[in-house]
Chains A and B, each alone.
Chain A
Amino acid sequence: MSNLISYKDISISLSGRLILSIDQLAIPFRQCTLLTGRNGSGKTTLLKIMSGLLKPDSAHIAYQGLNLSWRQAKPYIQKDIIYLHQQPYLFDSTVFNNIAYGLYRNGENKTSVHKKVNQALEWANLSHLAHQPANSLSGGEKQRVALTRARILSQSLLLLDEPTASMDSESKQQTSLLLQRLNAEGLTIIISSHESHTVSHLIDRHLHLENGRMTEINNASQNNKVTPFKTTKNTLTNE
Chain B
Amino acid sequence: MKKAFLLFIFPFLYSFSVQANDALRLATTTSTENTGLLATLIPAFSLETGIKVDIIAVGTGKALELARRGDADIVMVHARQAEDIFVARGFGVNRRDLMENDFILVGPSSDPALIRGQNNSLAALKKIEESQAIFISRGDNSGTHKKELSLWKHADLKPAAHWYKEVGQSMGKALLMANELSAYTLTDRGTWLAYQDKLSLQLLSEGGVSLKNPYGIIAVNPAIHPNIQYRKAMSLIAWLTAPVGQQLIGSFKRDGHQLFYPTAIKDTVLNE
Q: Is there a contact between chains A and B in the complex with CB atoms less than 8 Å apart?
A: no
